[in-house]
Amino acid sequence: MVYNNYSISYGKGRLYLKSKEPKEGYEKVTYGTDNKITYHKYVHSTNGILTKAEVSEKEFEGRKLSFFEVTLIDGDTVNRISTVLKNVKGNYTDEVKSLVSALANAEFGSNVSLSVSKSRSEKSEKEYLNVYINYLDKLGENGKPMSTGFIPFDEIPRAEKEEDDDLGVSWNWKPVNKYFAMRIKEIEAKSLSSAPVQKTAEAAVTKQQSAPAEALLEVDDLPF
């Protein structure tokens, strides 16, 4: 059984694998004030049977960290996409929100591809992270794999602006966080209620859940 633990690079708009040692196809990456070295392999996409999506907790250097994880099973290969659930301010990360948007209407048990890219707004010049999930066994009228869709922008609540004579302007992100918390619960419920795709896949997912936190992230991934 092969296990691939993917992370999402917001900066590059790609999925990537990590290695502590140099490998073919991996780029050298330095991070931290003491210039630590790691190696990343960047890819556009991965694929497999959409088997599970869940929030999980793992221990890392004495701390409990929460992740949002999506598992795809491709034969004897487990492809898991894992990203830190919230940033230092306690808000859901852009990576999580992009994954949730693509998973909101996805059918578990389907053979899919999951890809990551970035786009730039022509008006604001702001860059956005995009996650796409396409069904590999369903074609649209254009002959291309059908998308699972996304959450309409207008459906997502906005942070509420709060002004105070003494404290100045602040933003209340509770409506946004509450919305995504509910969508994540819906996705987890769908994941749990879907019939097992295959016994080998279920066994692989169970084994993969025991992977230590250091296999899923590095210090430079932490939002603090």
Cα–chain-centroid distance for residue 118? Answer: 14
pLDDT digits (tens, 9 = 90+) for 160-192: 999 998 889 999 999 999 999 999 999 999 999
Quote the CA–CA distance of 197 and 207 in Å, as a whole number. Answer: 16
Beta strand 111-120 pairing with 45-60: antiparallel
**Cα–Cα dist 191/200, whole Å:** 17
Question: What is the pTM assigned to this prediction?
Answer: 0.85
Judged against a pLDDT cut of 70, whether residue 203 lies above it is answered with: no
Percent of the chain with pLDDT over 70: 87
Q: 221 with 18: CB under 8 angstroms?
A: no
Task: Write the CA distances from 65 to 61, 83, 174, 197, 224, integer angstroms.
Answer: 10, 10, 21, 29, 12
DSSP state of 154: G
Token pair for residue 57?
């907790």
Name the packing angle between helices 94-103 and 174-193 (round to 10°): 50
Query: In this predicted structure, which of 5-9, 163-167, 194-198, 214-218 has the lowest mean pLDDT?
Result: 214-218
Domain residue extents for the chain: 2-212
Cβ neighbors of 196 (< 8 A, separation 6 or more) are: 202
Residue whose C-alpha is closest to residue 79's, from 191, 133, 3:
3
* CA gap 32, 203 in Å, rounded: 37
pLDDT digits (tens, 9 = 90+) for 30-42: 988 888 999 999 9
DSSP-based three-state secondary structure for 111: strand
